Amino acid sequence: MTEKNGISRQKLTVFQQNGSGNLKIEGLKKYGEELFELKIVNIDEILPPVLDDTSDYLPKSISCDLVLDFLTHSDLSTDLAALCVKNEIPVVASGKKTTGKGVSAPPT
């Protein structure tokens, strides 16, 4: 967490693909600017149906308090969840079937 004007701010990293999280990101900025420090990771390339290696698209490490997964490619989401578990960072992957330790997939 970081502080701004004496208020602790949670560090969020948002992963989105082709604008898939834009509405949620705008909501976080509008209603939570004082509460959240946002880092946005955009993946805007056309991808094949299967990605055997996602290392060209995902960072090698992540440092934040929470990850929000709005990726549309299941291979990216699966590997992102594994990376977050390795770094002990909780993930919210709303509406996805990716579950496991540290991953919350609430229905949409």
Q: What is the pTM of this model?
A: 0.86
Predicted confidence (pLDDT) per residue in 21-33, tens digit: 999 999 999 999 8
Domains and CATH numbers, the chain: 2-104 (3.40.50)
* Contact of 56 with 105, CB cutoff 8 Å: no
| 4 has a pLDDT exceeding 70 | no
The three state secondary structure string of the chain is CEEECCEEEEEEEEEEECCCCHHHHHHHHHHHCCCEEEEEEEECCCCCCCCCCCCCCCCCCCCCCEEEEECCCHHHHHHHHHHHHHCCCCEECCCCCCCECCEECCCC
The answer, yes or no, to whether residue 78 has pLDDT greater than 80, is yes
- 86: CB partners within 8 A, 6+ apart: none
**How confident is the model over 45-61, as pLDDT tens digits?**
999 999 999 999 999 99
Summarised one tens digit per residue, pLDDT across range 61-74 is 999 999 999 999 98
pLDDT of 97 over the 80 cut:
no
Cβ distance 71 to 16 under 8 Å? yes
